[in-house]
Structure 1
Amino acid sequence: MPNKNTNIVVAITGASGAVYSLRLVEVLLATGHDVHLSISPAGAQVIDEEMDLRVDLDDFQAADLMLEDVSHASDSKIRMLQASAGIGTADSNVLSVEAGRVGQLKYHHYLDYNAPIASGSFLTAGMVISPCSGSTLSAVAHAGCTNLIQRAAEVHLKERRKLILVPRETPLSLPHIDNLRRCTEAGAIVMPASPGWYHGVNTLRDLVDFMVARICDQLGIDNALINRWGKEHFE
């Protein structure tokens, strides 16, 4: 049986909540996915403002995002993800990628239309725009294509692949709501950044992990990032 596709596109645009994407990238890499990352200028501004991390979009360095080396992760949840995926063992992981292989981070400039993710012929397992700004939402809803992120989203819709949008804006205007409807009707999955509180919240990381876990659920990635509702009744 051929290997399953492990390419996932992650885009960060100019809405609050960049921490969701940074944690998502950690989790995807830990489970053997190759992450194709693109960041808009407004997204870089949000990363700077919210996380005090300065990203040079023209000379990107993964270290600028302070992503943990998932091959030597100290985070217990990351280690559990690796174990369940067969990373670091002689067994094939759930994605049928080479045992012991963590994913690779590949950066694409937001104006690079020669990037592989600009074409439907480049196969992926899905795309996540998190956070998804109102302007990006509008572009996706109306097939706008003024940067690579919008083009990649258009590709995922036309190829009928998973496209997950994580808006955080509140309150929502009628145009926002209409754009959410348009995107949903076109095949996108809209997941507002509205973390639950029922899974034993002790830290901000727990709230972040709730959203990341639900995104992974939509991508079909097994994870134990959160305590799931009703789990104790079946154990």
Structure 2
Amino acid sequence: MSGPERVTLAMTGASGAQYGLRLLDCLIQEEREVHFMISKAAHLVMATETDVTLPPKPQAMQAFLTEYCGAAAGQIRVFGQSDWMAPPASGSSAPAAMVVCPCSTGTLSAIATGACNNLIERAADVAIKERRTLILVPRESPFSSIHLENMLKLSNLGVTILPAAPGFYHQPQTVDDLIDFVVARILNTLNIPQDMLPRWGEHHLVSDE
């Protein structure tokens, strides 16, 4: 198995709930264990942008997502924002990789300053201090100088800033194709196999010239 066996996935209140849900589904299909967290704002965004309504309590949410993704029992573990005993809260047991998708600029700011006011922020802080893979997927437009400065600060600390900015060279036909473009880039960064987007040059035909 290439890439991490366990991944922490956090969804926060930026637009783009579809990216997070698709990423969760792909991680499950690739047989990864997912430690899942979601902010209150992300709950609202998801209800606005999709037809998915998550239960408010972690245990009920875990059961819902397990069925929604066709996951094995225990493959998805959901933690509340105040669950300081959860594995992602400590460097001694946190998964080897974390993705915040989508990542609000408020969460971006909190991570950049080491705020640790909730489990999502603490888990990201752990990933940084332990020098583990941390991918942030901001979805905002335009970016202010504050946003850009926070991104630069985090990038200099080894965090991957992967904006939800789909490309068009794969000739997308649907909105799902655009979503898959971003999710595929996340999976590539995690070194997890994906077949949604060919890597650049894979199908290039060499000319005789």
Give the TM-score of the pair, scaled to structure 2.
0.90
More off after superposition, 220-229 vs 33-42: 220-229
Structure 2 unmatched ranges of 5 or more = none
Q: CA deviation at 1:136?
A: 0.3
Give the letter aligned to residue 8 of structure 2.
V
Per-residue displacement from partner, 1:71-126 (whole Å, max 9, x unpaired)? 7xxxxxxxxxxxxxxxxxxxxxxxxxxxxxx9811101111111111000114230
Partner of 2:166: 195
Deviation per residue, 1:13-62 (Å, 9 max, x gap)? 00000111111111111111000000000011111111132223325324
Letter of the aligned partner of 2:61 in structure 1? Q
Decide which of 143, 166, 184 is 1:172's aligned counterpart.
Answer: 143
Give me the whole-angstrom Cα distance separating, in 1, the residues matched to 2:204 and 2:87.
46
Matched with 1:67 is: 68
CA distance in 2, matches of 1:208, 1:35: 20
- The residue type paired with residue 132 of structure 2 is R
The unaligned stretches of length 5 or more in structure 1 are 72-101
| Aligned AA (1:68) | C
Contact 2:116 2:122 survives alignment (8 Å)? yes
Letter in 2 for 1:61: M
User: Partner of 1:232: helix, strand, or coil?
Assistant: coil
Percent of pairs identical after alignment? 43
2: CA distance, partners of 1:111 / 1:158? 20
Partner of 1:104: 75
| CA distance in 1 between partners of 2:169 and 2:71 (Å) | 28
Question: Which of residues 93, 97, 115 in structure 1 aligns to 2:86?
Answer: 115
Indicate whether 1:227 and 2:193 are aligned.
Answer: no
| Aligned partners of 2:11 and 2:101 also within 8 Å | yes
State the alpha-carbon separation in 2 of the partners of residues 4 and 49 from structure 1: 33
Provide Cα deviations, 1:182-208, integer angstroms capped at 9, x if missing partner: 111111100000011111301111111
What's the secondary structure of 2:101's corresponding residue?
Answer: strand
Counterpart CA distance in 2 for 1:161 and 1:103 is 23
Q: Distance in 2 between matches of 1:157 and 1:198?
A: 33
Q: How many aligned positions are there?
A: 203
Deviation at 1:234, TM superposition (A): 5.4
Q: Distance in 1 between matches of 2:16 and 2:68?
A: 16
